[in-house]
Amino acid sequence: MANEKTCVEVRETENENIKIYSITWNVSEHPGEPKKFLKFENPEDSGLKFREIGQKGTALVCRIMAISGINEVFIGQNNLAVVKDRNFSWKKIEGAVLRAFLECSQQARGNVPFSVLIVGENMVFNYAP
């Protein structure tokens, strides 16, 4: 696993305020179904849910929830749905969301190559430590 590349696939949804991020590693230790998501709106009130998703999931949710303009995060085993405030632009916050993925990936997996695929725009960004 240490030599595997980390990939994040970004997908837009019908709702312009929601994006889905699929990751090649399990960010959540939630034992539920792979398609089941846990909802986070307020990190201060999420203690029990944080225990369910484990240390990696908690670190990622907290980093993303700290970004100005983010309202909610839904986390599954290797997927996140991020909901932004309608008054914010993805152009202003997407970089911070992707930086949170990179930092959490490095913390959990070490300095492995990291790539982002933005579906629909056919854009790929690569980071190699």
Domain membership of residue 51 as a residue range: 6-127
Task: Work out the number of other CB atoms within 10 angstroms of the CB of residue 49.
Answer: 17
**What is the count of structural domains for the chain?**
1
Residue 1 lies in a domain: no
Residue 34 lies in a domain: yes
Would strands 114-118 and 123-127 be described as parallel, antiparallel, or unpaired? antiparallel
Its pTM stands at 0.82
Residues 31-63: tens digit of each pLDDT: 655 556 788 887 666 677 787 788 888 889 999
State the Cα–Cα distance between residues 113 and 26, nearest whole angstrom. 16
Higher pLDDT, 21 or 76: 21
Residue 107 lies in a domain: yes
Residue 101 lies in a domain: yes
Residue 123 lies in a domain: yes
Average per-residue pLDDT for the chain: 82
CATH of the domain at 38: 3.30.1370.70
**Tokens for 2?**
């240490």
State the Cα–Cα distance between residues 72 and 100, nearest whole angstrom. 15
What DSSP element (H or E) covers 106?
A: helix 90-109
The least confident of 2-6, 7-11, 97-101, 108-112 is: 2-6
Residue 55 lies in a domain: yes
